Structure 1
């Protein structure tokens, strides 16, 4: 790949060429040569190039060299700047992936040639030393192969939530909202300037809509910055920078070249991976990740209020990817047509994220084991703005009320009759917040009384949202069998609990009743028809 070398000394470029050849040689890494017969296969070194770095995969190790390049957003033009960037890359990635990031290593030159590490000779380059992982296990590769299992989403949500909680808060001297606006302006200007790639009318309309949204959201963005939600984040949180390593997702390759780029609202950081999943048509994955992340939020009220920003955050992430892909099309003439098509898909996604969507509140009621949560997960991706409806679950909110993790079992005392009204009131408050932020909602709770059902309907009416109530029916045998099979679930219900519920007087039922014993695909189809 051709980098931007304007102003870079020819000597540096020649030196890096020698370093690249040195690291590409299997002998540098002590890898086996062909056998004497010439029939053996030499151990190879794999070279991976980006606009800012070159990575060499050799046996169990990987070495990443910063290119001697200068971009408006990235400057590796001197050896000292590259050393500092290598050290900072270790610093910003060690918390997320200590198993991978091993340290920095010098490439030296003496009379005998180049050396990797050691103390002999003059340092001519620096590298980040990593423990090599299976490159086929990055999330983008898994997604392309259809192997990104939904079972990976819960641990991934845990890791992202933990990373954001751990991330350092920004200082008061950083105007992150202004920095965000500048990033938005740069992306919009780049999109409107590429008139040979993006239709000018569409690009101009997108720019106008995005700037209008920012103007309305600026007070919220500044309030979140003041409240501490702007932090030094990963900054480049897309599927290519997540790997399944020893059975667990790991975040790697966080932005190291400019902390200002990585300093952002945690929801904007999170929006990158949501956008990536969504534009790959992995809507169920994006929806599940979105809701699990919300459930893990230490401040659910603030998280829901922030959802007003999410369409703009998603759109900007997609627009930046379109901008970067256009730039790559100019650096890679042989891939120009492919890159332009990719850029146009990203821009189409950016436009879609800003389109208005119907606002709805879906309440799913039914006794324990009727499949409320299962149905909610399936319905959520198709409702409202990407990445789908907020899924509020009474079991999760009850656990939150008592300060325990979703899968931690509560004592019987937490199920006293006076607790239920508190849980339902909390659900209604959260639903109202999400609706007022412009996001559709699914409330998943038993709703055993006519009063509970009427109160949740009132929330929809007060927020101007369309309401649909669904009641799931199933036999005692089906309900008890389902709760007995549950594992790692937020519900604490047991078969005796179900049998007690069966004796309840549900009162008049105005909600659409559905047979929950039928296959999920058929139940989903009926639910979608009821929602309209």
Structure 2
């Protein structure tokens, strides 16, 4: 029993260049694993996974794509070994090694003596209901989980090796060209007129941001990243989000700008209507990383669009392995991803600056979180929060408490100055901004309005109010929050002379759909 090769070196429509059916049948048989229960099989465009007892075996398909080549036994072995090394580093205990499939006198076997006919990545089996695409479908992406997800991504990017000087512009241009070619080959999924318009808009966008991308490459923002960071490739293990199944087959693809890496997850959340979750991940990522990330927001529409286009292309490549209802569902997802790729590049309107003020406990941060996803282009407004920026100024964690001297007037002036500076920089990228701070003094309110005026950006100011007992109850009962305010702080603030407040009182979240919202039928 051997793996038979097709006579032509050119891939068929499904890009498969060798017959692995005997191996798949072997791994799908419970007897091959010494278990009684059925083996669960999961098919993707590039691999087949077999869930057997306490283990999972992932076999690379013998496929040849422009972006992925598993066409030979040696290439599949190398890819399996690379996956164990690369993904295993970020998921301790999940990846157990490479298991050869060998041909013996009595048939195929996992390991042992004999001719090796293929390889499988051996993993500790986990509950597939705990991948974050499934968790999201159940409405389980709670704020604490989003916070943990963002922290996991930040940790991953900090640990990722730098690749300074890599020309990411050339690589991104090649991905666009490949998308255009694949779209043209499937006019039934990707209408040629729309595909051509998308290609032209994307090329123009890439040319505009090329100097920025080169500068980011020179300053350490290009790293050997995960490369395939969407919800299905994050799993809850012992209650913690863990990245797995990173790009292992092409180091060039995985070497990218960290915001391009993040954009895959943001796009995946956005296309599923999880706009608030996408916005929360972006903001938490920015809060935990270098200020210089801000300028990178200029590239975000292009990054999101390209990720959506690649998702459409890759899922289209896997259609050959689907049938019936599964195929119809996949075709719907593919068309939606393609339309979203267009929408990310065709958002209208200028970036806006919104400011929200009010005494501690008035609900500013809750209000900003609710408003941000619908403000400006996807994935919504950048939230600049005084409590966060004060902690960043002192180099401490979000929920660590600062001493009273950290709230001295001269320090607060630095914090407000920092908020204004960051707001200017964010607006310059085209992303909208919400500045969340007490804004008790008329001069502070005037200064943030002046930022919008100088930037030529629309401004909206909101002032939130609540009874004293409500303010005190809120600050005394909240936990895990960046604010250090307590009842004494509230009482002090109530004695402030606020001056004339021209902002809208008791601002409420507006009801409007985010830009680049997933298309609906």
**Normalised by the size of structure 2, how large is the TM-score?**
0.91
Q: Match for 2:125 among 132, 140, 165?
A: 132
Aligned counterparts of 2:173 and 2:429: Cα–Cα separation in 1: 20
Aligned counterparts of 1:407 and 1:4: Cα–Cα separation in 2: 59
Aligned counterparts of 1:338 and 1:323: Cα–Cα separation in 2: 15
Q: Which residue of 2 aligns with 1:524?
A: 509
C-alpha spacing 1:45/1:195, structure 2 compared with 1 (3 Å): closer
Alpha-carbon shift at residue 332 of structure 1 (Å): 4.1
- Unaligned 5+ residue runs, structure 1? 33-42, 516-522
Q: Work out whether residues 69 and 249 of structure 2, in 8 Å CA contact, stay in contact via their aligned partners in 1.
A: yes
Q: What pairs with 1:47-446 in structure 2 (closer than 5 Å)?
A: 47-118=41-112, 120-170=113-163, 172=165, 174-191=166-183, 194-297=186-289, 299-300=290-291, 302-329=292-319, 332=322, 334=324, 337-354=328-345, 355-446=347-438
1:19 is aligned to 2:4: no
Alpha-carbon shift at residue 486 of structure 1 (Å): 1.1
Deviates more, 1:101-110 or 1:53-62: 101-110
Q: Match for 2:458 among 459, 463, 466?
A: 466
Alpha-carbon shift at residue 191 of structure 1 (Å): 3.2
Aligned counterparts of 2:178 and 2:73: Cα–Cα separation in 1: 29
C-alpha spacing 1:171/1:439, structure 2 compared with 1 (3 Å): closer
Q: Is the partner of 2:180 in helix, strand or coil?
A: helix
Q: Match for 2:34 among 27, 30, 34?
A: 30
Alpha-carbon shift at residue 437 of structure 1 (Å): 0.4
C-alpha spacing 1:386/1:115, structure 2 compared with 1 (3 Å): same
Alpha-carbon shift at residue 192 of structure 1 (Å): 5.0
C-alpha spacing 1:480/1:333, structure 2 compared with 1 (3 Å): closer
RMSD value over aligned CA atoms?
A: 2.3
Aligned counterparts of 1:200 and 1:72: Cα–Cα separation in 2: 21
Aligned counterparts of 2:488 and 2:451: Cα–Cα separation in 1: 32
Alpha-carbon shift at residue 436 of structure 1 (Å): 0.3
Aligned counterparts of 1:156 and 1:325: Cα–Cα separation in 2: 25
Aligned counterparts of 1:473 and 1:199: Cα–Cα separation in 2: 52
Q: What pairs with 1:480-499 in structure 2 (closer than 5 Å)?
A: 480-499=472-491
Q: Which residue of 1 aligns with 2:516?
A: none
C-alpha spacing 1:452/1:308, structure 2 compared with 1 (3 Å): same
Q: Is the partner of 1:287 in helix, strand or coil?
A: helix
Aligned counterparts of 1:235 and 1:385: Cα–Cα separation in 2: 24
C-alpha spacing 1:325/1:56, structure 2 compared with 1 (3 Å): closer
C-alpha spacing 1:4/1:340, structure 2 compared with 1 (3 Å): farther
C-alpha spacing 1:286/1:81, structure 2 compared with 1 (3 Å): same
Q: What pairs with 1:448-463 in structure 2 (closer than 5 Å)?
A: 448-463=440-455
- Unaligned 5+ residue runs, structure 2? 12-16, 514-521
Aligned residues: 502
Alpha-carbon shift at residue 346 of structure 1 (Å): 1.0
Aligned counterparts of 2:182 and 2:114: Cα–Cα separation in 1: 45
Aligned counterparts of 2:301 and 2:164: Cα–Cα separation in 1: 26
